[in-house]
Structure 1
Amino acid sequence: VLNGALDLMQTVPAFAYLIPLLLLFGFGPVVGLIASAIYATPPMVRNTMLGLDRVPAAISEAGLMSGCTRRQQFWQVEVPTALPQLLVGFNQTTMAALSMVIVAAIIGGFEDIGWEVLSSMRKAEFGQSILSGLVIALLAILIDRLTIGFAKAPETGSTRAMRWMTPSRLALSLAIALALAVVIRLAAPNATLLPETGLRTQMGAVNQWLLGLVRDYAWFFNGVRNAVLYCLLLPMRVGISGSATPAMWGFSLPPSALAVYMGLVAALAALALRRFGWRAAVAVLAAGLVLYTGFLDLPWPVFILAVALLAGQVGGARLGLFSVVGFGLILVNGLWPQLVQSLYLCTLAVLLCLLVGGAFGVWAAHSERVSRALKPICDALQTMPQFVFLIPALMFFKVGEFTALIAIMLYAVVPPIRYVEHGLRHVRADVVEAVEQMGATPIQTLLQAKLPLALPVVMLGLNQTIMAALSMLAIAALVGTRDLGQAVYVALGKADAGMGLIAGLSIAFLAILADRLIQAAVAGTTSTVWTAHMR
């Protein structure tokens, strides 16, 4: 029950539960506080459960044998042992709370940093809004580094500065800082000691330069948008059968081309059957069908049956039944067209993020310089408020599905970079050395040794990529999509709490289903790899 509640709190878009909160409490900071607490609580709960569960049995038994009471056992034995994991939970909770500052500003904003970002976006002040978003990102990165430093010791040992800052010197520094603050407060009680003109007021030239750039190179940005729209987005939405028309592509496919396409899909399915088994062959056939019909024209009974069979095969009968019930509720509530739009947009974004992020992750895993360069970029992308991603996308590509795709990718490209790099860097060195001594080339070592062994970690990265893409649906709806995020946003505008919750729960259902499928696949993959290693 608790895990289910935490899943809903993390996956239901914040816009969905803003409506009942507004109806109950009205506008104001309290509503923003409650919404932020709902979204930010699950990471702390999960990490607390994980940390206490991973306390070694030997340590617990030693505490009991020393005569500890149950309260002493908890506070003096279990909590100190689980402290590193608890600090990770504090880290993630802080990140989640900071990511909610703009949503909180919408429903109860006052003059905080979230309100500054929102006000700048409404005035189309792109420079000011990005600068305010960077302030939030820098604050999040600072808290991240501090909590990581408390959670674990540096791998290279204590640095020179850490050795110099002894506890007594730290206490003396804090005392001096506190005394200086008291003196300044008493000597100048009305002084703010802030600059009269902030950097934000000097961003007008940047705004003019950006607008000039968009105006002068509009032909380039429009060309990129149209190329992706007609060659990638439309084929995914309406399929090759709907795109290959004189109105879209300027030509129609003859029957011979259809026969060639079917033969190619059949050949790929046969090759997948021979090399990877029947599951891969079925996946190739399903991909070929979706590519031909598109997501919009795919019959809903076929889709529900296929997902239910996949869920039952990977996760068991309960997961298959869960998928049928969830899709059935979406269907009877009239949200199937919006669901299909969400699936097609998120599927395309996840695939592109895996390609781009996976490539950068492989590069970073083999190059320290690239890893150091990507780390601050990934930190900024991961901690920047989601609304900020709409600014560059809107500025260069205007309103439309391509803009939504860019915004989703900017937020969801970080997990594949981090997890692919982490997985490849932590492959056992003796296995890699054995493969290299057998004469394998670097490409063969990567494809046949490192990636298969890192597959569980990569799959977890896929899980996080899907979660990030789904969480951006409600934000991306602001730039013209017609998916479940748009349904949530429209319900918020109409104060329709029922429709907002149904659309939000539909997004949560997709996230939970994807999470359970990938968890089951990772468990099966891990057991298979371990069995092969033991043999």
Structure 2
Amino acid sequence: MTGFARRFRASCRSARPWLAVLGLSALLLAQRAAFPQIVGYPDAWTLPVAEAINRVMDGLVAQFQGVARAVSGGLNLAFSGVRALLIGSPWAVPVCLFCLIAWQGGGRRLALLTGALLLYILASGYWEPAMNTLALVLVALPLSILIGFGLGYLGFRSAHARRVILPMLDLMQTIPAFAYLIPILLLFGFGPVVGLIASVVFAVPPMVRNTILGFERIPPAVLESARMSGCSRPQQFAWAELPSALPQMLVGVNQTTMAALSMVIIAAIIGGFEDIGWAVLSAMRKAQFGQSLLSGAVIVVLAILLDRVTAAYAARQLPGASHAGLPLRRFAPVLAAALIAAFLAAQALPALRDWPAGLIHSPAQAINAATTGFVLAHGELMAALKNGVQFFLLLPVKLGFERAVVPFTWGITLTPGMKAAYWALAGLGCVLAFGRGRWKGGIAVLVVAGFLYFGATGLPWATVLLLTTLLAFQLGGIRLALLAGGAVVYLLVAGLWQQAMISVYLCSVAVFLCILLGGLIGIWAAASDTVSAIIRPINDMLQTLPQFVLLIPALMLFQVGDFTALLAIVAYAIVPMIRYTEHGLRSVPATLIDAGRACGCSAWQLFWQVRLPQSLPQILIGINQTVLYGLGMLVIAALVGTTGLGQAIYVALGEANAGAGLAAGLGMALIAMTADRLLQAVIRGRA
């Protein structure tokens, strides 16, 4: 027996479960014309999940609506008070307040940056909407911190509580915000407080995770010293545990602040008041690219301001850090005196009370005119690009070559000979991989070939269920297999199968493009400091610019449809791929690179044999984050005409249908959690 034959037989033995599943799939596909339920899950087999959720919600609303409305009233009172202080006082007072707080936390440079950012907001004409948004964040933030700290400390103290809290956090972070806006709306009513509560729900998880991490990292010597000093349990907590965990907790405060701010536009959908999120949303609905871009830039400015200030206070707690500013007992009277002086100065100088209209500049109309001119001048090129991607990439993945290759799109028809040649090439690739002992590659060839031929919406549901469960079992064991298989079963019995596969198709194409383009850009940035310096602020802008704003240029250039959604998803999800690829390549130890050069490796060999293998774990983390970002953007992309789970959630929000929204949101969360756990298992296997 030759070596090829021996390796082929060994590969066949190793791949028996996969070959069995693929063989069963071939039999199912051969019978799909006679039995359509092989591909489309029968409606008779579904369960009324949405109706059951609605019945539960009806009971909760009837039971707790009174308490919820009372809480809403209290939060509205606090929000109105903060809003009145920020907007009712002369602009010089809040500017003075925030500059002094920045100076206290980070020194003169941070104070100057804060002043410049606030002056930009004033000059842009968005001062009042920005202060409305800031008031919402300032009320949501303490609630998020307190709730997050309580849950985090409970999770640290109790292993049983942690087993409940951590999956709950996963759901809070993976269920699209549109889905849980509906029950919040039913319980708390319409208005800005509903957006505030949604912001709290979204912003709590980072605080919980960092609180748990902070207490877990307390050095044992600190605890032992506290016990030996005779501290009681409360004294040990206040004097030893809390100070030691505080630096990591302040990192959580920083992340919680950014998470609360990121909800402002989604909150604006149900908030109904003049905040900066509403300004972005209104401009987007009118397709006003200039106004949406400028108002979105104000959110970016607020994000930078809050990030730098909270990060500065967190950095002050690190060992050896210098303490800028004054002690609190001296800072408080200085702050009070400065605010009083600013208020009195504003009474004497009207320009310090109301920002002069002549100093407001808005290039929105010029941006709109430039965008319109570009569309008129290059409309045919844009249409050709859209149709090319639609016909030769999106449709084949969605419908498969079997249905996408037609004279209207490709100019040809798949003949029996073409089909036979396609499968012969796929089979040959599999046989060659098996003969070289790489049975996993051979199975991957057959799976990819089947996916492209039949499309995401043409695969038998049993095939997807078995392949997903088998992959999860081999990567992570029985628990991961139960999660993956349970996620697919839920999508089937909830009647969400077709929408889920459409979401998977669009996200798959977006992730593929992000890996390809983001990986190349990350490699380029790792090789050039100049490119890295150019790419870094672009990445910052793409991650802080509101997701809705990313839809506007794509919508202006390409109208509604899957291609427009694809561009927006790629623009948002490509950032982690770029960053983790660059970070991974730059983190390769110099000793390994020097050893490769000493062995005579060329630059090409050095990349493929040293740099890439060493950076692969970080790159896989980037792929993980790219998948999660892509799934998160799917719901936003539903606003430009895509179908799938995102559209189901958005429609449910418009109808105030909590059952349909939560059922689809849970489906999206299960897809995200399954993808996350599978990729984490791959990363652990590579570590």
Normalised by the size of structure 2, how large is the TM-score?
Answer: 0.71
1:250 equivalenced with 2:411 (yes/no): yes
1:7 equivalenced with 2:170 (yes/no): yes
CA-CA distance at 1:166 after TM superposition: 6.2
Question: Which of the two has higher C-alpha Rg?
Answer: 2
Could you tell me how far apart the structure 1 residues matched to 2:520 and 2:340 are? 52
Superposed, 1:334-413 pairs within 5 Å as: 334-413=495-574
What is the aligned partner in structure 1 of residue 341 from structure 2?
Answer: 180
CA-CA distance at 1:378 after TM superposition: 0.8
**1:112-133 CA distances to partner (integer Å, 9 max, x unpaired)?**
1111111222232210111111
What is the aligned partner in structure 1 of residue 357 from structure 2?
Answer: 196
* Aligned-partner SS, 2:357: coil
Q: Name stretches of at least 5 consecutive residues in structure 2 with no aligned partner.
A: 1-163
* Aligned-partner SS, 2:400: helix
CA-CA distance at 1:168 after TM superposition: 8.0
1:296 equivalenced with 2:478 (yes/no): no
Q: Name stretches of at least 5 consecutive residues in structure 1 with no aligned partner.
A: 527-535
Q: Which amino acid aligns with 1:426?
A: S
1:84 pairs with 207, 230, 247, which one? 247
What is the aligned partner in structure 1 of residue 303 from structure 2?
Answer: 140
| Structure 1 residues 265 and 461, CA gap change in structure 2 (3 angstroms) | same
Q: Which amino acid aligns with 1:19?
A: I
Cα-Cα RMSD: 2.6
| Structure 1 residues 425 and 67, CA gap change in structure 2 (3 angstroms) | farther
| Structure 1 residues 263 and 197, CA gap change in structure 2 (3 angstroms) | farther
CA-CA distance at 1:173 after TM superposition: 8.1
Name whichever of 73-82 and 397-406 sits farther off: 73-82
CA-CA distance at 1:405 after TM superposition: 0.3
1:68 pairs with 231, 236, 242, which one? 231
**1:97-151 CA distances to partner (integer Å, 9 max, x unpaired)?**
1111011111013121111111222232210111111111122123333444444
Could you tell me how far apart the structure 2 residues matched to 1:442 and 1:86 are? 43
Could you tell me how far apart the structure 1 residues matched to 2:358 and 2:167 are? 49
What is the aligned partner in structure 2 of residue 95 from structure 1?
Answer: 258
1:114 pairs with 267, 277, 281, which one? 277
What is the aligned partner in structure 2 of residue 530 from structure 1?
Answer: none
| Structure 1 residues 199 and 228, CA gap change in structure 2 (3 angstroms) | farther
Could you tell me how far apart the structure 1 residues matched to 2:449 and 2:591 are? 40
What is the aligned partner in structure 1 of residue 186 from structure 2?
Answer: 23
Question: Contact 2:375–2:557 (CA<8 Å) still a contact in 1?
Answer: yes
| Structure 1 residues 433 and 150, CA gap change in structure 2 (3 angstroms) | farther
| Structure 1 residues 168 and 149, CA gap change in structure 2 (3 angstroms) | closer
What is the aligned partner in structure 2 of residue 524 from structure 1?
Answer: 685
Q: Which amino acid aligns with 1:5?
A: M
Percent identity, aligned pairs only? 52
Q: Which amino acid aligns with 1:497?
A: A
Q: Which amino acid aligns with 2:551?
A: L
Q: Which amino acid aligns with 1:295?
A: A
What is the aligned partner in structure 2 of residue 485 from structure 1?
Answer: 646
Superposed, 1:35-50 pairs within 5 Å as: 35-50=198-213
1:124 equivalenced with 2:263 (yes/no): no
Could you tell me how far apart the structure 2 residues matched to 1:404 and 1:47 are? 34
CA-CA distance at 1:83 after TM superposition: 3.2
Normalised by the size of structure 1, how large is the TM-score?
Answer: 0.91
| Structure 1 residues 274 and 131, CA gap change in structure 2 (3 angstroms) | farther
Could you tell me how far apart the structure 1 residues matched to 2:271 and 2:351 are? 28
What is the aligned partner in structure 2 of residue 32 from structure 1?
Answer: 195
Name whichever of 363-372 and 64-73 sits farther off: 64-73
What is the aligned partner in structure 2 of residue 319 from structure 1?
Answer: 480
| Structure 1 residues 446 and 88, CA gap change in structure 2 (3 angstroms) | farther
What is the aligned partner in structure 2 of residue 105 from structure 1?
Answer: 268
1:226 equivalenced with 2:359 (yes/no): no
CA-CA distance at 1:435 after TM superposition: 1.9
Question: Contact 2:347–2:353 (CA<8 Å) still a contact in 1?
Answer: no
Question: Contact 1:99–1:384 (CA<8 Å) still a contact in 2?
Answer: no
CA-CA distance at 1:386 after TM superposition: 1.1
Name whichever of 419-428 and 95-104 sits farther off: 419-428
Could you tell me how far apart the structure 1 residues matched to 2:519 and 2:229 are? 50
**1:302-340 CA distances to partner (integer Å, 9 max, x unpaired)?**
011000000111111122122222211211222111011
Could you tell me how far apart the structure 2 residues matched to 1:508 and 1:321 are? 15
Could you tell me how far apart the structure 1 residues matched to 2:382 and 2:560 are? 13
Question: Contact 2:176–2:665 (CA<8 Å) still a contact in 1?
Answer: yes
* Aligned-partner SS, 2:411: coil
